[in-house]
Amino acid sequence: MNIYILRAALLAFPDVTFFNLYSISECHEVTCADLRECITEGAAAGVAFCPVGFPSAIVDASIRDENGHLVAEGEQGELFIGGELLARGYLKRPALTEERFPTLEDGTRAYRTGDRVRKVNTINFVQRSNKFGVRDCYIL
């Protein structure tokens, strides 16, 4: 959601709580944010889109470069997700499982989302890796 549209919605509906939830099939719920709390931080950081918030307590989220190394706060990278809810892989697709679920340097497994993000207090999207379309209407 565009941050300017969110500001207008917050003004129009002051008693409504707006949440932004980022969830993927490979790990279930990843982040959740009360957008009223995040909007000031996002605007201060020059973010054009609403932040997706902080990872839930049982999710390990990291932002890594193309070689799988951690990036510094504020730098862009790919979002990797791990933790208790991480899927084992894709049924009968071992090559894709190996590609998308690497073992990290600390021995844990993660899912490569393909999404480009940066962390400035909270996780902020730069570019989604996929989109789902139905009759020329796309969900990003």
pLDDT digits (tens, 9 = 90+) for 115-125: 898 887 778 77
pLDDT digits (tens, 9 = 90+) for 8-55: 888 999 999 888 888 888 887 788 888 877 776 555 555 556 677 788
Overall pTM surpassing 0.95 (yes/no): no
**Which of 52, 75, 79, 51 has its CA nearest to residue 63?**
79
Average pLDDT over residues 78-95: 94
Q: Is the separation of the CB atoms in 3 and 22 below 8 Å? A: no
Domains parsed from the chain with CATH numbers? 3-128 (2.30.38.10)
**Which of 56, 74, 78, 52 has its CA nearest to residue 65?**
78
- C-alpha–C-alpha distance, residues 49 and 27, integer Å: 23
